[in-house]
Amino acid sequence: MTVELVTAEGPREVVSGIGGLTLRAVGALDLERADMLLVPGASGRVGEPGEAPEEEVGVAERKQDEFIPVLLGRTLTTELPALLKQAMDDPDITVATVCGGSLVLAMAGLLEGRHATTHHMGLDMLDATGAHAVRARIVDDGDLITGAGVTSGLDLGLYLLEREAGLRVAHAVEELISHERRGTVWRAQGPTPTTL
């Protein structure tokens, strides 16, 4: 298994929204070489531009680009949406997302009619784009696997490892990193539960 950090633009520094951590993308996304694509989310303030949390009243207003919907929306002006569409149309490529990564797909119009999850604060946005938002940590919709908030990324990684390499390997990695997956992986299978 080979894992590479790539971007639509090619090799470059990618700055994390958490503490300015910088990662180095080694190349451009090449769908000819990929059988799985993981789309991460973003980090920043949640809410609408102009809304400051109470604890920040009196602090100089931050730039509009610090709001998660704006950060994610920037991706729509790159080559990424076209590459994501190609990946979603290819039955040999599994697309996985964590947190706001599914919102990127949704804003690009790629999740209509699909089951997906994201951070709980973005579920309404998923619904508004025509996706079927599911309140679960991991949603398996065949060749689309989505994870909820950032901590579900560990569960997503272990689930993907289970799908690709088997349960025994995923369990060994769980033990290695001292993390037990939480919750049930949601799939559109079985009877629909009745409301109590």
Q: What are 13's two structure tokens?
A: 């520094």
Instruction: Report yes or no on 54 lying in a domain.
Output: no
Say if 95 falls within a structural domain.
Answer: yes
Q: How many domains does the chain have?
A: 1
Mean pLDDT by 10 residues, the chain (196 residues): 91 80 92 94 62 38 58 88 97 96 96 96 94 97 95 95 95 95 92 80
**pLDDT for the residue 45:** 59
Find where tokens 């059988």 sit.
Answer: 35
Is 75 domain-assigned?
yes
Note whether residue 172 is domain-resident: yes
Residue 149 to residues 62, 102, 143, 153, Cα–Cα distance (Å) = 24, 11, 20, 7
* pLDDT computed for residue 126 by the predictor: 94
Does 112 map to a domain?
Answer: yes
Task: Report the residue count for the chain.
Answer: 196
Report the pLDDT value the prediction gives residue 71, as an integer from 0 to 100: 79
pLDDT of residue 67: 75
Does residue 4 fall inside a structural domain?
no
Place of tokens 């940590």: 137
List the domain range (segments joined by +) for residue 142.
35-48+61-177
Q: What is the pLDDT of residue 136?
A: 97
pTM: 0.85
Query: Is 164 inside a domain boundary?
Result: yes
What was the pLDDT predicted at 194?
83
**Domain-embedded: residue 71:** yes
- Give the E-state strand segments of 31-121 in sequence order: 36-39, 94-98, 115-116
CATH number of the domain where residue 126 is located: 3.40.50.880
